[in-house]
Amino acid sequence: MPVFDFNEEQDNKFTAECTYTTFQSNESKPTADKPLLLLDNEKRKWNHHSCGKFTNPIRRTSFEFEEEEGTVSADILQIDSRFVSLLKWLGENHINVRLSGENRPEGYAVYKIREIAFGGGTKLSAEDGFLQFMIDRLLASSAPEEMSEDEEQEESGDDMKLTSIQSITDFMNCAGRTLPDNIRLWARRNLAVARSNEVSPEERRHAQRALSIMMNVQWKSNYFEAIDPAEARRILDEELYGMERVKQRIIETIIQINRTHTLPAYGILLIGPAGTGKSQIAYAVARILKLPWTTLDMSSIHDPEQLTGSSRIYSNAKPGLIMDAFSMAGESNLVFIINELDKAAAGKGNGNPADVLLTLLDNLGFTDNYMECMIPTVGVYPIATANEKDQISAPILSRFAVIEIPDYTPEEKKVIFSKFALPKVLKRMGMREEECIITDEALDALIEQYADTTGIRDLEQAAEHIAANALYQIEVDHLSQVVFDADMVRQL
């Protein structure tokens, strides 16, 4: 009876051979000049679009092209180090892909990888967007490059969400190292709970939900690109009139970011009367930093648990508003706008909700009771607004660079009304500026009417009223132009 020695047969097989070297790259939009990988093209030039599979790394690091005459193999020469695990995973799972590349003297430069389905091959775990989602994550890019040809139209992974256990597992295998160390360990533990049959279905559901929330956030580093101060100044002048001291402080912050490539240690607290444009300043800063922003209205927070989330021991447990903000933004670097900070007074519920913000403001990390994990906050830039400085606790106050915003002077209010508020309302109503004229005496009467009010909201409402009255007279009385004098303004 013949006996086969399989151990001896193993020795006769091909030994694993690594044919490639890796290179470091921070490119977010691969091109033929800056590709994802290079394939050997000395013996044969490859088509611009080529289909096939990456080989199982047990044999040789190569790509098997599906050509008309059959399968042809080409060694991988270089790989972007961020994609080594992904290509290995594609090879081990025999995923059919289509490469887009260009033949160069140094090799076939691949700058795009897509999943395809043919020949009954294995499909990815979640849906067709999963591979593109992975590549987008590894490139840390959400804006695919547009090409002129139909075949070159980029696919976007933005709509892809990691929800199933299998897709989360695949993501951990391919891109787990892109996560912070503590989140990667946390994900492994929760993945074990979500798969376990020894815990209740409710525990598995909570673990899977927490994993889905955490994995769909792009956890970025605390490195920030330089910002153009001239463009920042243009945005501030476009959004705000006057306030030179406030603009100077913001430009100083921009210069600091340009030198250190990190956010300042302290956020900004804008204190001033209602209607002076505090929230508008915060939105302008987010626009300058080119970061997503989220708002938190502290006047509606009555319990710290609204911010910290509830424990998973409850069936209706859910994350807090701060974790929700990361989830909605989709990334860890964001501008956190905290409105009405002075309204978060103690005595509303189980303590002062504002105390929950201390660790967030210190950039030490924030712990959500539902997630049960320390969330990195080094990329969070807090900007808070308040009316009364005395209503804010000393520990909170000490964590901000305080900027006090004075009320507008009468002369500033005149300019804001005539140059900004009224033209904006007229444009929205489809009226020409010459159809609604405000005399100097009428403007003086208007400013005098609202001398005792702070901010410019009343002026904006007055502009709305005046423009609506002018439109009424034009439509009903068939006037071509309405000129408002001081008496007409007082009547309105």
Q: With 0.85 as the threshold, say if the pTM is over it.
A: no
Pairing of strands 62-67, 49-54: antiparallel
Tokens of 474: 């034009």
Mean pLDDT, residues 285-309 taken together:
87
Confidence category of residue 222, pLDDT binned at 50, 70, 90: confident
Indicate the CATH number for domain 410-491: 1.10.8.60
pLDDT of 75-103, one tens digit each?
Answer: 899 888 888 888 888 888 888 888 999 99
Please give the Cα distance from 19 to 60 (Å, whole number): 7
Residue 207's contacts (CB-CB under 8 Å, 6 or more residues apart) are 190, 191, 193, 194
Closest CA to 283 of 381, 404, 217, 396: 381
- Angle at CA of residue 381, ends 347 and 456, nearest 5°: 70
Q: Is the dihedral of CA 311, 315, 320, 323 positive or negative?
A: positive
For the chain, the domains span: 16-152, 179-215, 229-404, 410-491
Quick: pLDDT tens for 234-243: 988 888 887 8
Q: Given a cut of 50, is residue 53 above it in pLDDT? A: yes
> Do the two domains 229-404 and 410-491 of this chain adopt the same fold?
no
Task: Using the predicted structure, report yes or no on whether residue 143 has a pLDDT greater than 80.
Answer: no
The pair phi, psi for residue 379, each rounded to 5°, is: -100, 10
Residue-wise pLDDT for 394-424, tens only, equals: 888 988 989 888 888 888 888 888 888 888 8
* pLDDT score, position 119: 45
pLDDT at 147: 37
E strand or H helix at 175, and its extent? helix 165-175
Amino acid in the structure at residue 260 = T
pLDDT above 80 for 54: yes
Q: Does domain 229-404 have CATH number 3.40.50.300?
A: yes
Q: 72: which strand partners?
A: 65
Check residues 415 and 455 and name the one with the higher pLDDT: 415
Q: Is the pLDDT of residue 230 over 80?
A: yes
